[in-house]
Amino acid sequence: MKDRVSLPLWLDHLIFDELGAKYCRSNSDMTVIDWDKNDVLNYLGTYFPRSYAEAYCIFSEFFSKWPNWFCNKTEMSVFDFGCGTGGEIIGLLDAINNYCPNIKTANIIAFDGNMHALRLYERIFKESKCYLRFEAKTRIVPLEIEDFYDLSVLLSVLHCGFDIIMTFKAICEFVSIDRFEKNNPYTHIIKNFVPKLKNDGVILLDDVTTYNKVSQEWLPNMMDAGLSVIPGYQTIMRNDGYNQTFMVQHSNIEIDVSKVAWRIIQKQN
């Protein structure tokens, strides 16, 4: 699998020169929902490039391994849970651009609870359309998930029949703030997304690999434990070992390293 990319020049210029993103590495538990504009600009310069690299590399491998998966489709429907500033969305769009020649339209629903992040995402998405050979559309869903009820509200407005559902470095936030009354957030969130897939649809779950002080567990272990009790799905791709290292180059650092655990799951027929 390709595990090293450079941020496209247009994207590098946009986020760092025009939008004022700052590279500011932090290994602390993230609660992006509560961040202000300056925090989000630090996130844009640090985690956006990493999520772009992870999504581009993982989906490139997925589309290469199963070239017939979307060969009969001309339209793709995507839902991103906790999109933040949208690094993984742009990475996915670039992978589609390079590996899915039949796709003519991509419809993206982007959910997040931070309006500063969503405004930046909308600006970046608008610019990205100039570099795609297919039409891309997006709709944002601004909602903060406080409890089970808020998640049920989100689910009620989502249609069924997504080709791809993805979540990048988002579920770890719900672990850190203990939103679901000691329930494993990986179980509770993912089991509600499985029914939203098409029969051949997939979920990509990507998260950090740190030790979480609230749950007192390593997140990859918590992820696997949470997924193991969800019926009706199978893991079709995953990182080898405990995590996978991805590297991204951009104007603020020669090589930035991201270590994540990821799983691609599919509904069982």
* Model pLDDT for residues 63-92, shown as the tens digit of each residue: 999 998 888 899 999 999 999 999 999 999
- What percent of the chain stands above pLDDT 90? 69
Number of domains the chain is built from: 1
> To the nearest whole number, what is the mean pLDDT of the chain?
90
Average pLDDT value for residue range 2-26: 93
* Model pLDDT for residues 133-172, shown as the tens digit of each residue: 999 999 999 988 766 667 788 888 788 899 999 999 999 8
Question: Rounded to whole angstroms, how far apart are CA atoms 43 and 39?
Answer: 6
Backbone φ and ψ of 100, nearest 5°: -125, 75
| pLDDT tier at 188, thresholds 50, 70, 90 | confident
pLDDT at 215: 73
* Closest listed residue to residue 253, CA positions, set 12, 2, 10: 12
Range of the domain at 215: 4-267
CATH code of the domain in which 33 resides? 3.40.50.150
DSSP H helix total and E strand total for the chain? 8, 11
* Closest listed residue to residue 6, CA positions, set 217, 250, 265, 260: 250
Inter-residue contact 257 to 55 (CB < 8 Å): no
pLDDT at 233: 87
